[in-house]
Amino acid sequence: MVDESMRAALRALPKAELHLHIEGTLEPELALELAERNGVMLPWTSLDELKRQYAFENLQSFLDLYYQLMAVLKTADDFRDLMLAYLKRAAADGVRHAEIFFDPQVHLGNGLDLDTVMDGLLEGLRLGRERYGIGGGLILCIVRDLPVESARHVLELAAPRAADLIGIGLDSAEVGYPPSLFADVFVRARELGLHCVAPAGEEGPAAYVTEALDLLHAERIDHGVHAADDPAVTRRLAEEHIPLTCCPLSNRRLQVVHDLRDLPLRKLIEAGVTVTVNSDDPAYFGGYIGANYEALAEIGFTYDELKALAADSIRASFLPEADKRALLG
């Protein structure tokens, strides 16, 4: 068991969060508050009833709830409040820098415009820096099971605000939506000066990791645990210094593994791959980044090992080198 002093020590480690969907931080309390503020009718009236929905059974019931609750986000103030609630928790867990995904296609589908979403999130980031001393930026996330045309469209809408973004990423269902579908979207993103990241090898095979590197020029792989199934892919990640953004509690909640001990994190680390610890959709998956570090401590990772992973998360960020040195110092 992780005792209180270990818990505090892990939370005190300066770290970066590199795989976090802001919509996945919507706690039931805030969801109900925003529903009331905006006059959005939800099928659940009480907090207890809504909390029970968060005990979903499988990926589909998670996604159903996730998309349904996003409808409570209507105004820039809502996005600001969502961002601030996350940054407050992250700062308490020792996060000093966060590179945060958001899903513009879903919000556009709910009738919002891109500026409303981005202005609110950026205002939240500005206030978070001021109040909690935590820095960060936004990664535009493409929903891979929506038509590719919609991805192209949202990227063109975002193009005039490329300077407000760190990068482009992908999310939602992996199997059946290989990285190759989005090759031209990522070419355009690179033209706009965006960093490229992509999930691969979460539920999909190691071959998707290769595709994400070859066709999307991904600079980081989100999840990527199945890279460990193929020694050549593992070696390539190590040699090309491509970090993985792993999310242990998410993997367990979505049954990528039944037991955290089955995650090949040590195998990847020993092969020279940079592994980072992140929380993915923490309101839904059982804990923020501190809880993910603790979960690894519970399966035997030592403080020194976790300290090294925290330092690697800062190195794996897109911060300028001087900022990385300052945080590591």
* Interacting residues with Zn ion (CB under 5 A): 280
- 245: tokens are 């953004």
**Amino acid letter at 307?**
K
- Of the pair 211, 280, the CB lying nearest Zn ion is at 280
Q: How far is the CB of 248 from Zn ion (least distance, A)?
A: 13
Q: How far is the CB of 169 from Zn ion (least distance, A)?
A: 8
- Of the pair 102, 293, the CB lying nearest Zn ion is at 102
- Of the pair 35, 277, the CB lying nearest Zn ion is at 277
56-90 burial: b if 16+ Cβ within 10 Å, else e: beeeeebeebbbebbbbbbbbbbbbbbbbbbbebb
- Of the pair 32, 181, the CB lying nearest Zn ion is at 181
Tell me the backbone φ, ψ of residue 283, rounded to 5 degrees.
Answer: -65, -25
Q: How far is the CB of 41 from Zn ion (least distance, A)?
A: 28
What is the SS3 assignment for 170? strand
Residue nearest to Zn ion (CB): 280
Strand spans (E) along the chain: 15-17, 95-102, 135-143, 167-171, 195-200, 220-223, 244-246, 275-277
Q: Is 294 a catalytic residue?
A: no
Q: How far is the CB of 39 from Zn ion (least distance, A)?
A: 30
CA–CA distance, 26 with 24 (Å, rounded to integer): 6
Q: How far is the CB of 21 from Zn ion (least distance, A)?
A: 6
- Which member of 17, 99, 202, 294 is catalytic? 202
User: Is 22:120 a contact under the CB 8 Å cutoff?
Assistant: no
Q: At what angle do helices 183-191 and 206-216 cross, to 10 degrees?
A: 40
Q: For the chain, what is the radius of gyration of the CA atoms?
A: 19
- Of the pair 35, 95, the CB lying nearest Zn ion is at 95
Q: Which residues are catalytic?
A: 202
